[in-house]
Structure 1
């Protein structure tokens, strides 16, 4: 008998499935070269307003330069995944890269969420849902 996935993992899969990721190096490079870069306290957001496929996609660039400790890199990755899951319904079609800054290690998820919402609002890519 196949096991049912929990509701939370179903939501996460639908929002952050393979269709929502920028997986190709060429696509990531396209966003880096032609996208708009917005710098915040906890992260740098690079976004391409007119994606070729009209989808909402994201990639997280978290290298060993950010931290040599995998635990810290994974925490930043988890924060970004949760932020993307929460902003996804209000997000316009965009390809974006999220690059953490070291200050994110001391930040709460709510702080990072507010910052990313603010950066996306500045670039007119986020619409508050009623």
Structure 2
């Protein structure tokens, strides 16, 4: 049937093969983007955990009142793409979500719990790590 309209079987198969090759390339590209973000989240988790452990050690060595807020600070190499900040809020043990004072005023009261939030930030994201530390 010469002069007919439509696609031949060969043309259709070639289009399917080309779309399959291009689709595979796109899948690899987006998978690589996702693994990069996951690696940053894993590093941020390690950096946040490290800071919380340091805060617990400082409390043990220097006392409850040594737990204070820290402004966002760029970390040294090889973690220089991250910044870390610490926010400390005094809370009542009966209601840990309700702020009861600011640092250092809570040191002069009978409040014996602090909510500590460590934030690790990087370009395109951030991760928060929160814990409660008591003076017991």
The TM-score range, normalised by the shorter chain, is under 0.3
| Structure with the larger strand share | 2
**Normalising to structure 1: TM-score of the pair?**
0.24
Larger Rg: 2
